Structures are given as C-alpha cells and as structure tokens.
Amino acid sequence: QVHLKESGGGSVQVGGSLRLSCVFSGDIPSVNDMAWFRRVPGKEREGVASIDINNYDNYAESVKGRFTCSKDTAKRTLYLQMDSLRPEDTAMYYCAASRSRLPGPPLKELAYDYWGQGTQVTVSS
C-alpha cells in the first residue's frame, strides 16, 4: 500500500504561481510512474502532468510551458510548480502513483493505483 498526501493549494490571482507537494509513504519500492490530476465539479478527472522513475515527464497540452512536475526521491515528495495560472486552472488537484511503468508516462486515470485526497487550487481574476 502507498499513501499520498498533497499540500500547497490555495487562492491566487491570475498570472500567479503555486507549488503543490505530495509526500508519499508506505511500499515505496512498488512506486513507478507518478502524476498530478485535477477535477472540476461535474467533470471527469483530467491528467495534468506525469513523471516516471527516470524523471521523464509528460504534460497535458493545456499546461505545457506553465507547469513543471518534479520529484525528490530522497524526500519522498512529488511537486507540481504552477506558473502563469489562469482561472481555468481552478480545480481540486490530486497526486497519483502507479505500480506500473507505461509509455508516456500516461495521463489516464486508470493507469494509477493510489490516490491522495486532493488540494484545492483557486485562481481568480
């Protein structure tokens, strides 16, 4: 079992920045791909960024050039640096981990086995 705990969400104005963190614990050797997702009420959860064990990253088109996903394995922490935030980035953000290594790494919800409880990001104009 792997446990994930997000932090760093909050309210920010358009054009601002936030850095989300996700501390992971438990059966660490089983963790391969990791990712950030977000969900707006009434919509499906959307993959935002992913990273594999070799730190190869992948991004949704809507956040490319604005968001950066990174990982500090020693600190057991996944990060999402979010810059140039827009109102449409407002969502609950979730950290996810997979036991698998897949091409991409993927931004599909079904590819991930473990989930955090989320942290809210609100961008206002």
| Residues 6 or more apart in contact with residue 124 via CB below 8 angstroms | 11, 12, 13, 14, 87
What is the predicted pLDDT for the residue at 105? 95
Over residues 23-46, the mean pLDDT reads 94
Residue holding tokens 């601002």?
16
- So what's the pLDDT on residue 52? 95
Q: Which amino acid type is present at position 96?
A: A
Q: What average pLDDT does this structure show over 74-82?
A: 97
Task: State the pairing for strand pair 119-124/10-13.
Answer: parallel
**pLDDT attached to residue 30:** 87
pLDDT at 115 exceeding the cut of 90: yes
Residue-level pLDDT at 116: 98
Give the Cα separation of 7 and 23 in Å (integer): 8
The stretch 69-81 carries a mean pLDDT of 96
Q: Which of 60, 37, 43, 51 is nearest to 117 (CA)?
A: 37
What is the C-alpha end-to-end distance of the chain, expressed in Å?
A: 40
Phi, psi of 70 (to 5 degrees): -145, 170
Contact 50, 34 (CB under 8 A): yes
Tell me which residue has tokens 């309210």. Answer: 11
